[in-house]
Structure 1
Amino acid sequence: MLRRWMLPILFLAVGLAAAARQVTKGLPGAAVTLLLIFLLAAALLSPLVFPRSVSAAEAQRRSETDGRPIVYWRPGCRYCLRLRTRLGLHAHRMHWVDIWRDPDGAAAVRAATGGDETVPTVVVAGEPHVNPDPRWVRAQLP
């Protein structure tokens, strides 16, 4: 659980340190700006910007029922973040599995990618696609 939050916590700590340094220099405006930038980065790298994750088994069961794609992802992955932001409101039309929370999800990704945990891995109609183009993914949505 803590591993999922390490990068956002690190960005928050660095932002606080940088802001404190600017305050000691007598530059409160720069401190606020730096803190806001680091807070934004921490928020974007946190699991909070992703739809609620489900287990791999639940995602597969739901996908078989409704035909929606499954996205295997992990917090801090810039390619996952790129996919999430480019999908916009359409991201909620997919089933998201955090491979750091679900060992079965990590195993599914390793099986699809030949042994590594390359994410995002999107499964559409039972076919895995590693780091697909977000426009292609959006076109696959029912």
Structure 2
Amino acid sequence: MTRAWILPLTLVLCGSAAATGLVFAKESGSALVFLLVCVTLAVVNSPLIFPRSISAVEAQRRSTVDGRPVVYWRPGCAYCLRLRMRLGRSAHRLHWVDIWRDPAGAAAVRAANDGDETVPTVVVGGQPHTNPDPVWVREQLSPGP
């Protein structure tokens, strides 16, 4: 199991255990609502919600070719989720690197943030920007499909 799935699985397991306790306490409606909230949080914090991650080396190569920004992120990061959600459909036009899956990506983020793994870090034209405004990131995308 990778680190990216630890938080979502923990949410589902804890939610299931709590919902089971609520069912035994004759609170079936509350159990269902609680379980749905936990599953929703698990999905939102899972790698499923983000575009497919690629390696930092591949992202840098592609960015050099097409000029699109590279986004370094990690599952469970509220700011990464905010960026992803606010970008909407244009999120697939960026190159996403999960720093928990790619040591080179984590090293690039540490180099850009004085040794900290602060995400999202967006690299545009070789310049890193830590936790930028999603509107600004959208503006950095060249017109295209």
Which TM bucket (shorter chain)?
A: over 0.9
Structure 2 partner of 1:12: 12
Aligned pairs, number: 142
Specify the alignment match of 2:50 in structure 1.
50
Quote the residue 1:82 is aligned against.
82
Partner of 1:127: 127
With 1-10 and 98-107 compared, the bigger mean Cα shift is at: 1-10
| 4+ residue segments displaced more than 6 Å | none
SS at match of 1:76: coil
Matches within 5 A, 1:63-142: 63-142=63-142
In structure 1, give the amino acid aligned to 2:26.
G
- In the TM superposition, what whole-angstrom CA distance separates every residue of 1:16-44 from its partner, at most 9, and x where no partner exists? 01211110011211111111010000000
CA distance in 1, matches of 2:44, 2:70: 21
The alignment partner of 1:52 has SS state of coil
Structure 2 unaligned residues grouped into runs of 5+: none
For the aligned residue pairs, the C-alpha RMSD in angstroms reads 0.8
Distance in 1 (CA, whole Å) between partners of 2:5 and 2:61 is 28
Distance 2:84 2:109 in 1: 18
Alpha-carbon distance in 1 for matches of 2:2, 2:10 = 12
Deviation at 1:2?
2.3
Q: Tell me the TM-score normalised to structure 2 length.
A: 0.95
In 2, the alpha carbon distance for the partners of 1:30 and 1:114 equals 46
Unaligned runs of 5+ in 1: none
Hey, what's the Cα distance between the residues in 1 that align with 2:26 and 2:116?
49
How much does 1:3 deviate? 1.3
Q: Kindly, what percent of the aligned residue pairs are identical?
A: 65
Q: Which amino acid aligns with 2:77?
A: C
| 93-102 vs 22-31, greater mean Cα deviation | 22-31
Once residues 52 and 4 of structure 2 are traced to their aligned partners in structure 1, the CA distance between those partners, rounded to angstroms, is: 14
